Amino acid sequence: MFKVLRVVIGRDLLLSMRRRADVANALLFFILVASLFPLGVGPEPNLLRTIAPGVIWVAALLASMLALGRMFAADYADGALEQMLLASAPLGLIVIGKAVAHWLVSGLPLMLLAPVLALQFDLPIDALLVLVASLALGTPSLTLIGSIGAALTLGVRGSGVLTSLLVLPLYVPVLILGTSAVDAAAGGVTVQAHLLLLTAFLIFAGAFAPWAAAAALRISLD
Amino acid sequence: MSRPSEAAQSPRPSFGGRINWFKYSSPQSFFPLAGAAIPWFAAAAALFCVAGLYVSFFVAPTDQQQGEAYRIIFIHVPAAWMSMFIYLVMAFWAGAGLVFNTRLSGMMASALAPTGALFTFVALWTGALWGKPTWGAWWVWDARLTSELILLFLYFGFIALTAAIDDPRRADRAAALFALVGVINIPIIYFSVQWWNTLHQGASVSLTRAPTMAATMFAGMILMALGFWMYSIAAAFIRVRCIILERERNTEWVAEYMREQR
């Protein structure tokens, strides 16, 4: 079982390393979107500090959504996905492996970049740590939920916009919990409840989303 | 669909042969049944709505706190109920379609989606009209309003996904999976006023307690809800008949039906 996971994760990581530009694009998008806000709303430090958690979280959410298209599209185009459906290993497990690899190249860099962006917004140091923690717990959930949307829209025309239409409503709880955790930290209130709820959401998504995504893949490749 | 061995062992007496539960799951036999049922449901909808509007505008007393503005709940609450109920029914048919692989289930789910979206929109819109005089704002980012808005997006996502996939069978199955994933939002909407301490007031009507309002107000609300319910069935049947004709356009019976219509 772990061998399957290791092989899938290793393969996907290797493939993303061969296409480094794709990974970098989503990160650049994240930096650009977050940097547009101070230009748009004006450089008033108090205002920036107030909107920082929301802006950074929304930018991270959009960047991770943009990257969703990569999750299955290349494998679908070259037929590797059909081989995975026929493989003796459970499809849900393969989806978990692909989601982990996808998070390592899309979610993890976002999480590491976020504190640098938060400094632009003058967030206090405590809130920075909570921001990283909330992204560490939240972005895997985004990837897992997004895998369902990406699998459903495989090979559909205009799939990029459609994926966002399907996935964004389901992202809302993560967004609310993530930003309220950072808000609470910036306001000096305890953040434990928010982080625990994010963890619960992650466990829930981890338990169910891969199987739903596997079912969606079977429908898409029917 | 039951196995023959089971039927042979069944101790139940048979009433003139076994009932075939799947008889009306074929679009061909459901089409005339829906056609015959539409006028009845439409008439019931008109009757209940007229009675409900009469009760809510002329019989029900003026609210002590909210004055006349409260009367919008006679549209708002039944529409909100229907928006959630239709999503559950839609998800039920979607699930049935995935389990039994019946074509009609997927058609029924996609016929229900626009009506559900309509009621969600009506609930949000009337809520805004009620919120302005009562809360002083058209919209607040309250848990129940937000989750109802997400429900509207889920309906849109369902409709968009069905429309984007060319093969109708694949479209039905993909949309069905999406509908089932989205079901998680329904309890969140329903319990949002209990879980979070929000601006939106708690439920005034529940199955377990006596309603916290005058009997005539309650009657008006129930009548309107029944009217909306009947309307939803009639509208969904009309829509499902169109979908059946469109998808089965290459079959013998549709060709015959179209000849009769001319």
Q: Map chain A to HEC letters.
A: CHHHHHHHHHHHHHHHHHCHHHHHHHHHHHHHHHHHHHHHHCCCHHHHHHHHHHHHHHHHHHHHHHHHHHHHHHHHHHCHHHHHHHCCCCHHHHHHHHHHHHHHHHHHHHHHHHHHHHHHCCCCHHHHHHHHHHHHHHHHHHHHHHHHHHHHCCCCCCHHHHHHHHHHHHHHHHHHHHHHHHHHHHCCCCCHHHHHHHHHHHHHHHHHHHHHHHHHHHHHCC
Of B165, B169, B181, the CB nearest to A148: B181
Q: Find, in chain A, the residue whose alpha carbon is nearest to that of B172.
A: A219
Q: Is residue B157 part of a domain?
A: yes
Question: Any chain B CB within 8 A of the CB of A156?
Answer: yes
Report whether A115 contacts A128 (CB < 8 A): yes
| Predicted local distance difference test score (pLDDT) of residue B10 | 44
Instruction: Label residue B91 by pLDDT band (50, 70, 90).
Output: very high
Instruction: Label residue B207 by pLDDT band (50, 70, 90).
Output: low
For residue A147, give its domain range: 2-221
Question: Any chain A CB within 8 A of the CB of B161?
Answer: yes
Q: Find, in chain B, the residue whose alpha carbon is nearest to that of A204.
A: B184
| Predicted local distance difference test score (pLDDT) of residue B6 | 42
How many beta-carbon pairs under 8 angstroms link A with B?
51
CB distance A172–B150 less than 8 Å? Answer: yes
Q: Is residue B33 part of a domain?
A: no
Of A156, A165, A219, the CB nearest to B177: A219
- How many distinct structural domains can be found in chain B? 1
Mean per-residue pLDDT, B8-24:
57
| Predicted local distance difference test score (pLDDT) of residue A56 | 92
Mean pLDDT score across all residues of chain B = 83
B191 burial class (0-12, 13-18, 19+ CB within 10 angstroms)?
A: middle
Chain A nearest-CA distance from B91, in A, is 15
Mean per-residue pLDDT, B15-20:
60
Q: Is residue B125 part of a domain?
A: yes
CB distance A162–B173 less than 8 Å? Answer: no
Chain B nearest-CA distance from A153, in A, is 8
Q: Is residue B15 part of a domain?
A: no
Question: Any chain A CB within 8 A of the CB of B198?
Answer: no
Q: Is residue B25 part of a domain?
A: no
Mean per-residue pLDDT, B7-21:
53
Q: Find, in chain B, the residue whose alpha carbon is nearest to that of A173.
A: B147
Question: Any chain A CB within 8 A of the CB of B160?
Answer: yes
| Amino acid occupying residue B149 | L
| Predicted local distance difference test score (pLDDT) of residue B184 | 85
CB distance A165–B154 less than 8 Å? Answer: no
For residue B54, give its domain range: 45-261
B16 burial class (0-12, 13-18, 19+ CB within 10 angstroms)?
A: exposed
Reading the block at residue B254, the tokens are: 């549709």
Please give the Cα distance from B119 to B80 (Å, whole number). Answer: 7
DSSP letter for B13, please. P
CB distance A169–B182 less than 8 Å? Answer: yes
Instruction: Label residue B4 by pLDDT band (50, 70, 90).
Output: very low
Chain A nearest-CA distance from B250, in A, is 23
Per CB-CB distance under 8 Å, the chain B contacts of A144 are none
| Residue range B157-199, pLDDT digits in tens | 999 999 998 888 889 999 999 999 989 888 877 777 666 656 6
Whole-number CA gyration radius for chain B: 21
Report whether A123 contacts A50 (CB < 8 A): no
| Predicted local distance difference test score (pLDDT) of residue B206 | 59
| Residue range B48-76, pLDDT digits in tens | 999 999 988 888 777 766 777 788 888 99
Q: Is residue B23 part of a domain?
A: no
pTM: 0.86
Q: Is residue B86 part of a domain?
A: yes
| Of residues B62 and B98, more confidently modeled | B98
Per CB-CB distance under 8 Å, the chain B contacts of A165 are 153, 156-157, 160
Q: Is residue B9 part of a domain?
A: no
Note every long-range contact of B23-26, with CB atoms under 8 Å and residues 24 or more positions apart, other chains counting: B24/B104, B25/B100, B25/B102, B25/B104, B25/B105, B26/B104
Question: Any chain B CB within 8 A of the CB of A205?
Answer: no
Chain A nearest-CA distance from B93, in A, is 17
Percentage of residues of chain B with pLDDT beyond 90: 40
Chain B nearest-CA distance from A198, in A, is 16
| Predicted local distance difference test score (pLDDT) of residue A73 | 87
Low-confidence stretches of chain A (pLDDT < 70) are none
Of B150, B154, B174, the CB nearest to A216: B174
| Predicted local distance difference test score (pLDDT) of residue A45 | 84
CB distance A162–B185 less than 8 Å? Answer: no
Q: What is the ipTM of this complex?
A: 0.86
Q: Find, in chain B, the residue whose alpha carbon is nearest to that of A213.
A: B177
- How many distinct structural domains can be found in chain A? 1
Report whether B174 contacts A213 (CB < 8 A): no
Chain B nearest-CA distance from A14, in A, is 30
CB distance A169–B164 less than 8 Å? Answer: no
Mean per-residue pLDDT, B42-48:
94
